[in-house]
Amino acid sequence: MRVPLSWLREYVDLPATETGRDVQAKLISAGLEVETVEQLGHDLKGPLVVGQVLTIEELEGFKKPIRFCTVDVGRANGTGEPQEIVCGARNFAVGDKVVVVLPGATLPGGFSISARKTYGRTSHGMICSSDELGMGDDGTKGIIVLPPETEVGRDAIELLELVDEVLDIAVTANRGDCLSIRGVARETAIAYGLPLRDPALLDVPAPNAFGYPVKISEPLGCDRFTARTVSGLRPEARSPIWLQRRLQKVGMRPISLAVDVTNYVMMELGQPLHAYDRGLVQGAIGVRRAEEGETIVTLDGVERTLHAEDLVITDDRGPIGLAGVMGGANTEIADHDDVEGATTDVVIEAAHFDAVSIARTARRHKLSSEASRRFERGVDPQAASAAAQRTVDLLVLLAGGTADAGVTEVIAPSAPHTITVPADHPDKVAGVTYGRETVVRRLQEIGCDVYGQDELIVTVPSWRPDLLEANDLAEEVIRLEGYENLPSTLPKPPSGRGLTHRQRLHRRVGRALAGAGYVEAPNYPFVSEQVFDQLGLDADDPARRVVRLVNPLSDEEPALRTSLLPGLLGALRRNDGRGSHDLALFETGLVFHPRAERPVAGHVPVDRRPTDEEIAALDAALPEQPRHVAVVLAGAREQAGWWGKGRPADWADAVEAARVVAREAGADLVVRKGRYGPWHPGRCAELVVVADGAEQVVGHAGELHPRVLKALGLPERTCAMEVNLDGLERAGDDTPQAPGISTFPVATQDVALVVDKPVPHAEVEAALREGAGELLEGIRLFDVYENAEQLGDGKKSLAYALRFRAGDRTLTVDEASAARDAAVALAAERTGAVLRG
């Protein structure tokens, strides 16, 4: 929600010295996420004045038509003489009032204006478009034509309210009340301890029997409908500048007076409104569910086929609006340009629709509007009649209409929501002693009625439909008292240690990859299923078996990932597309595999802790979720410079990344030639570990297949690595802590073993490790040697350095040799290794 500070000040008497940033800080501390404060016109400098076009001369012989104009700017130019200005726009005529910027002025963006020669004439300034003034889109491409009554020579910076500050607030889904200036003003008033001038406090005439007839057939979808009518609007009436400017500042486009007024009131009070051309509505207005297959053409010109759940507004012939989402074309207000057929009489709707129903309709028709966004998040039902009244008042004032005496109000009565809460509940939740008095005062500040002593009976205000239970009230007290005032105490971990083994490994891997020059790029876990074709996976690849979401965020990505590559490669492509070509990214995260059989999820109790069996049943119903680590690389791995020529990333870098990860997991990684869909067949390594005595492929690394690069639009020679971190960890050293540091010296013993070529190094190493026993501190393969003459056909020699050390004594040579012999003996037994003489 965009909130101009000038508008906010209308309802709260903020000290004049308060800046947008000050208000931002206050609101953030009250829990509203004010993302930015936009400074409008901060670099703008006059003279910028209202002028009247006196003459227009068309200059011939140029590529595009050009006009040479004289403009009366009053005494603003010091002489009172007409200002001579060259202008390329054509949407104005002699007599029109326009905005003129004079030499010496500076426009937004630091664009300074001086007299200059152009098209063979001298232009003493410029006639401005709204774009040039940084006003945003006004729907026209040309220059601004001001209302005829605007005074010549007047300062346009002030007239157009060009200098302002606009707070941009990311309103959370529960705070629909803050999608209005009224709501934000209320929060501001509370934050500053100032009174609020509530714009919804208006005198509204009582409903009577001669209002426009309305019939609600679906009270569950619509519990309130106010209808008012205004007649005799002047067809030529346009929205005044102040109204247009406010709409622009909140991000809406001025359209026509009646529409602008309904939008303005929606922004002011948070109540969506709709204006129907009364001359086009046939008979009574109704609210009902649509008939399956019924159609309506909405205001955006799209014909929509309705679903039996959609709520519609109807007249005698059928739907005239998609309730709470968008009006229908058949009753649309005619634009003021079209004076003949222009709308003179309107019916105004201010209704309250069911949030879930509107949300579903908006989603179903992929039609999210300012109105639907508000209804989905909760609109104050009590504001409807005030909003209708405000609309009527503005139409009378600005369009010279007459408010008809008829007032229709159809209301399904409902009791206000009441919550019972112990007065010390917020204290318990926050671990702070606020005390009853503070709790009551804070709840009253947000508009609650509070009764009772130890047990409070709280009636929540109509504009806060999000307050449902005791914890919601606790949250209100806590946020207004300030989250920053909560003492921070670390929760006590059960084991007395900070992080779990898993968390520590996760961190170590992240740090090690960052140390190797990779940047972390976390992605959403959602993927499209086409991506598996693009990655070149076989039809029966297990990675194609996905968990599909019942309610995906985006229809394009309805599945949970089984690999980190789609997300990372997408990030790589986007960065590459924006001009960053040397990229090394990594991600650590869960992937999801459906269970072979789909067990039925257990029931989750809400009133007590689930038992161990219940937890186990729930776990079993979840997909399997191993942790993966992946990297992607493209462009230069090392930059060129005085230090060297630089070097492009290649497949060996991807393999090295796997080694970095394996080292952190304490796993011995075997890297051998592999073949797997996404990778280039000649440049693919298979990553293998030995766990529980069996070899296990835990991932792949190398350069991606050219077909994959093409399908995904990736740069040439993109490399990637993906490995199952849980698999690595299982194969790893399972002592999570670093071994104690011994101050006694190390004893090194080298052994060279001859084995059959296919015997993997990892198996030999595992046997050595086990055979060597406790004294072994480390083991490293330092040589692999093949020579048929010396070793025999089909044999290879693996040379290892074994490091022995004891924590409490210096080892004797005999002790170290005995441990080495035991290691060799087990390797001989397990792998047929023979000690090389």
Q: Identify the three-state secondary structure at position 191.
A: helix
CB of 139 to ligand TYR, least distance (A): 16
461 binds ligand TYR (CB under 6 A): no
Query: Least CB distance from residue 341 to ligand TYR, whole Å?
Result: 19
Between residues 350 and 631, which has the closer beta carbon with respect to ligand TYR?
350
- For residue 463, the minimal CB distance to ligand TYR (Å) is 18
One residue of 100, 204, 233, 299 binding ligand TYR per CB under 6 A: 299
Binding span for ligand TYR by CB under 6 A among 151-159, 270-278, 609-617, 811-819: 270-278
CA 83 to centroid of chain Cα atoms: 49
x-or-dash string of contact with ligand TYR, 606-645, rule CB under 6 A:
----------------------------------------
Residue 16 and residue 473: Cα distance in Å, rounded? 33
- Contact status, residue 665 vs residue 509, Cβ threshold 8 Å: yes
Sheet holding 346-353, edge to edge: 274-277, 346-353, 222-231, 402-411
348 is an interface residue for ligand TYR by CB under 6 A: no
3-state helix vs strand vs coil in the chain, percent to 5 = 30, 30, 45
For residue 472, CA distances in Å to 26, 421, 468 come to 21, 10, 6
The structure tokens listed for 663 are 């080292």
Q: Does 326 bind ligand TYR (CB under 6 A)?
A: yes
Q: Which of 186-194, 318-326, 443-451, 828-836 is the region at the interface with ligand TYR (rule: CB under 6 A)?
A: 318-326
Is 774 labelled a binding residue? Answer: no
Shortest distance in whole angstroms from residue 329 CB to ligand TYR: 10
Question: With respect to ligand TYR, which residue has the nearer C-beta, 324 or 760?
Answer: 324
Q: Which helix (H) or strand (E) holds 353?
A: strand 346-353
Pairing of strands 83-87, 66-72: antiparallel
Q: Which helix (H) or strand (E) holds 652?
A: helix 651-665
Residue 67 Cα distances to 53, 87, 776, angstroms: 12, 5, 91
Q: Is 324 in the site for ligand TYR (CB under 6 A)?
A: yes
Q: Which lies closer to ligand TYR via its Cβ, residue 183 or residue 525?
A: 183
Beta bridge partners of 101: 48, 126
> Are 125 and 100 within 8 A, CB to CB?
yes
Residue 274 interacts with ligand TYR (CB under 6 A): yes or no: yes
Least separation, in Å, of the C-beta of 441 and ligand TYR? Answer: 37
**Choices 140-148, 266-274, 608-616, 713-721; region in contact with ligand TYR by CB under 6 A:** 266-274
Task: Give whichever of 86 and 350 is closer to ligand TYR, judged by the CB atom.
Answer: 350
Q: Are 135 and 245 in contact (CB under 8 A)?
A: yes
386 and 392 Cβ atoms separated by less than 8 Å: no
Whether residue 273 contacts residue 346, with contact meaning beta carbons closer than 8 Å, is answered with no
Q: Would you say 24 or 271 has its CB closer to ligand TYR?
A: 271
Is 349 labeled as ligand-binding?
Answer: no
Beta carbon of residue 240, minimum distance to ligand TYR (angstroms, whole number): 20
Is 688 buried (19+), middle (13-18) or exposed (0-12) by CB count in 10 A?
buried
Cβ proximity to ligand TYR, 24 vs 369, nearer residue:
369
Pick the closer one to ligand TYR by CB: 258 or 762: 258
Question: Which range binds ligand TYR by CB under 6 A, 147-155, 172-180, 272-280, 413-421?
Answer: 272-280
Residue 261 as a binder of ligand TYR (CB under 6 A): the answer is no
Contact flag: residue 286 with ligand TYR (CB under 6 A): no
Q: Beta strand pairing status for 2-4 and 164-170?
A: antiparallel
Residues within window 370-399 making contact with ligand TYR, judged by CB under 6 A? 371
Is residue 327 a contact point for ligand TYR (CB under 6 A)? yes
According to DSSP, residue 114 is labeled: -
653 is in an annotated binding site: no
Q: In this structure, what token pair is assigned to residue 561?
A: 């990932």
What DSSP assignment string belongs to 752-776?
Answer: EEEEETTS-HHHHHHHHHHHHGGGE
Tell me how far, at minimum, the Cβ of 394 lies from ligand TYR, in Å.
14
Alpha helices in 666-772 (DSSP H): 706-712, 725-731, 761-772
Q: Which is nearer to ligand TYR, 326 or 802 (CB)?
A: 326
Spatial contact of 200 and 388, defined as CB atoms under 8 Å apart: no
Interface with ligand TYR includes 456 (CB under 6 A)?
no
Closer by beta carbon to ligand TYR, 299 or else 764: 299
Nearer residue to ligand TYR within complex by CB, 273 or 559: 273
Q: Distance (Å, rounded) from C-alpha 765 to C-alpha 823? A: 9
> Considering the rule CB under 6 A, would residue 313 count as an interface residue with ligand TYR?
yes
Q: With CB under 6 A as the contact rule, which of the stretches 324-332, 436-444, 564-572, 643-651 interacts with ligand TYR?
A: 324-332
Angle at 412 between CA 410 and CA 416, to 5 degrees: 125
Choose the stretch contacting ligand TYR; rule: CB under 6 A; options: 129-137, 178-186, 321-329, 587-595.
321-329
| Smallest gap from residue 102 Cβ to ligand TYR (A) | 40
Q: Is 321 in the site for ligand TYR (CB under 6 A)?
A: yes
Binding residue count for ligand TYR, defined by CB under 6 A: 15
Least distance in Å: CB of 315 to ligand TYR? 13
Q: Is residue 47 reached through a cis peptide bond, with omega within 30 degrees of 0 on the bond before it?
A: yes
Binding positions for ligand TYR, 520-549, rule CB under 6 A: none
- Rounded CA-CA distance 672/239 in Å is 74
221 vs 324, beta carbon nearer ligand TYR:
324
Say if CB 551 and CB 700 are below 8 A apart. no
330 binds ligand TYR (CB under 6 A): no
Tokens found for residue 186: 């209320």
Q: Which runs of consecutive H residues, i.e. helices, occur in 461-611? A: 470-481, 501-515, 530-534, 565-577
Nearer of residues 349 and 427 to ligand TYR, judged by Cβ:
349
The burial class, CB within 10 Å (0-12 / 13-18 / 19+), for 416 is: exposed
Choice between 350 and 423, CB closer to ligand TYR: 350
Work out whether 221 is an interface residue with ligand TYR (CB under 6 A).
no
Q: Is 476 annotated as a binding residue?
A: yes
Six-digit token string for 221: 């979808």
Q: Taking the complex as a whole, how short is the minimal distance between the CB of residue 8 and ligand TYR, in angstroms?
A: 23
> CA 444, CA 274: separation in Å to the nearest integer?
33
Among 272, 286, 678, 727, which residue sits at the site for ligand TYR (rule: CB under 6 A)? 272
> Closest distance between ligand TYR and the C-beta of residue 681, in Å?
56
Q: Is 369 in the site for ligand TYR (CB under 6 A)?
A: yes
In this structure, are residues 371 and 350 in contact, taking their beta carbons and an 8 Å threshold? no
In three-state secondary structure terms, 614 is helix
Instruction: Enumerate the H helices of 446-564 as residue ranges.
Output: 470-481, 501-515, 530-534
Q: Which is nearer to ligand TYR, 393 or 614 (CB)?
A: 393
Given 306, 323, 537, 657, the residue binding ligand TYR (CB under 6 A): 323
Instruction: Report yes or no: 486 and 433 within 8 Å, Cβ to Cβ.
Output: no
The per-residue DSSP string of 228-248 comes to EEEE---TT----HHHHHHHH
**Segment contacting ligand TYR (CB under 6 A): 221-229, 322-330, 399-407, 795-803?**
322-330
How many angstroms separate the CA atoms of 265 and 180, rounded?
9
If one asks whether residue 24 binds ligand TYR (CB under 6 A), the answer comes out as: no
Of 71 and 388, which CB lies nearer to ligand TYR in the complex structure? 388
Footprint of ligand TYR (CB under 6 A): 262, 272-274, 299, 313, 321, 323-327, 349, 369, 371
Annotated binding site for Mg(2+): 466, 472, 475-476
Residues within the annotated binding site?
466, 472, 475-476
